Amino acid sequence: MRIKATKIDGCGNSFLIVDEMKTPLNGFDRSLISSALATQHGTDGIIYVDQLRGVPTMKIFDSDGTEETMCGNGLRCATRYLRDTHISNDSFWILTGDGEKEVCVVDDLIEVNLGEARNYRQINHQLHFVFTGVPHIVVLCSELDVESARMLGKSLREEKSLSELVGHPEGVNVNFIWPNQEGISVYTYEVGVEDITRSCGTGSAASAYVTAKVFGMAFPLVTSSIGGSLEIKESNGSLSIRGPTCYQGKAIGFVKDLYPKPPTPIYYRNVG
């Protein structure tokens, strides 16, 4: 099966956008498609956009085929694509696995509202937990290199007792943060990618939230990652992230032996 997609970068995060308004995939295994496309094109994830009763929708799958409820930079990339392709307004809503999110295009920047940070808890003096659409551990530390962050992130991500402690046995993302001249630096070890990513929108929001809560720093906060910087704002308890996106061209993916999943059989019992 041949699948057309658009490649978009969001602050270092690379995604393929599959437009199901043009190429419907109902009944097909998006997990299988996602892992195949991500491998072929070297992306962090696959985003499927569609609409439900007139409301734009977004589904996000990691490169390993795992579906996530939310991805901040992925939502920004979906916003850019939908605004340029299907939507005439600069501000609109997108339905995600974490509910409806208000999004907008501001000149060349894309800003998305992730909603309230949820379930915050301090685990110890270094480790903090917060949910910003997906679960995040935020580690307060001094500056460290990528390889150290990769090793420590992998260890914490695979620590089952930690994931169970915060109510997410499926695993947590891990963010290492330290102050810089503009705000904070962030390295994120992401579930599904299983590595340090160039940027993470929900991780940047979680890191900014913990920074403000623990150190009393005021919003807006600038988070600096390998792929660039994001501005994190807070309004009425909701966190939003703003940053650039850019198109990287068209892509075609090939998935062999892909057939629609068979419908679930229905069994009837004779009565009387």
Task: Report residue 211: phi and psi, to 5°.
Answer: -60, -45
Fold of 118-236: Diaminopimelate Epimerase; Chain A, domain 1 (3.10.310)
Structure tokens that stand for 203 in this block: 């991780």
How far from 18 is each of 63, 170, 198, CA to CA, in Å? 14, 26, 22
Positions in the chain whose pLDDT score sits under 50: 264-272
pLDDT digits (tens, 9 = 90+) for 92-108: 999 999 999 999 999 88
| 94, HSE (Cβ side, Cα atoms, 13 Å) | 35
pTM of this structure: 0.91
The reported pLDDT for the residue numbered 2 is 85
Token readout for 6 is: 């658009």
In the chain, CATH 3.10.310.10 covers 2-113+246-254, 118-236
Question: Based on C-alpha coordinates, what's the Rg of the chain?
Answer: 19
* H or E, element range at 251: strand 246-254
CATH fold for domain 2-113+246-254: Diaminopimelate Epimerase; Chain A, domain 1 (3.10.310)
Residues 172-183: tens digit of each pLDDT: 999 999 999 999
Parallel, antiparallel, or unpaired: how do β-strands 13-19 and 45-52 relate? parallel
Say if residues 76 and 241 touch (Cβ distance below 8 Å): yes
